Structure 1
């Protein structure tokens, strides 16, 4: 009986991981930004269902969605009840969806070299921030 339980929990775990990866992501980006397109490719390669929306006013869209401007980057995305600002790695988004913290979402402010979509021969360390409802942040991941 223990073996059957172990097999069932393993299968359910794999199914849950697949469901997270297949989450729908709406990306609001400038039609003129190439790195945003590269981030979209990164997310799709990790199994996310990504829809892009070209907007002329990314900061306006960010504000409308509810991400504080202080954490702004070149694109804002919505996945589930969360916002994703900038070049956040897909693994961080998957972790967010799995852990479901009370938060606005995740942000990688600016456009750090070496982040997804900003690949570089000279990557720099950067942090993914968990943005809370009051606008404060904590470090969610270090890269």
Structure 2
């Protein structure tokens, strides 16, 4: 299901806010449900969504013109931002920033580390949604959402 929000003022006029949108993602119950916030014109984000659906995840998307507030509320560090932001998890919510590969999502949900989320910063060629090359090498970083902590490598694609 895709919802298009063309202007933040339209959302506000409807009684919604970025806070309400992120809070909605936190109401999901099952570990296989993903809420994705993306821009309406991003084809690579849609390719990531379809790959996650094909892997068995239930995905709901919300299209927004500007994801800045969503990323800030999700605790995504500036250097780890990518083109879409997602939430996954039952009782323990995690942020998935950008083209995070399925293997990294599975590792996250199996290990359940004490972090805020994981990020594939930028748009690495060969990442899921960006060509999906199993031999592409790029890092997925873990972040806590705390400003004083340096993100750590969580998963290295192409090295398994």
TM-score calculated relative to the size of structure 1:
0.79
Any unmatched runs of 5+ in structure 1? 1-18
2:116 to 104, 115, 118: 104
Structure 1 residue runs of 4+, over 6 Å off? none
RMSD (CA atoms): 1.7
Q: Secondary structure at the match of 1:95?
A: helix
Q: CA offsets per residue over residues 52-100 of structure 1, 9 Å max, x none?
A: 0001111221112222222100000000210000000112111101101
The yes-or-no answer on 1:42 pairing with 2:54 is: no
2:154 to 132, 140, 143: 140
Equivalent position of 2:140 in the other structure = 128
Paired residue total: 122
CA distance in 2, matches of 1:116, 1:79: 17
The question of whether the paired residues in 2 share the 8 Å contact of 1:59 and 1:72 is answered with: no
Any unmatched runs of 5+ in structure 2? 1-29
Equivalent position of 1:77 in the other structure = 86
Q: Following superposition of structure 1 onto structure 2, how do residues 12-31 of structure 1 map, counting pairs within 5 Å?
A: 23-31=32-40
Higher helix share: 1
Give, in angstroms, the shift of residue 107 of structure 1.
0.2
Name which one, 1 or 2, has greater alpha-carbon Rg. 1
The question of whether the paired residues in 2 share the 8 Å contact of 1:24 and 1:79 is answered with: yes
CA distance in 1, matches of 2:116, 2:39: 22
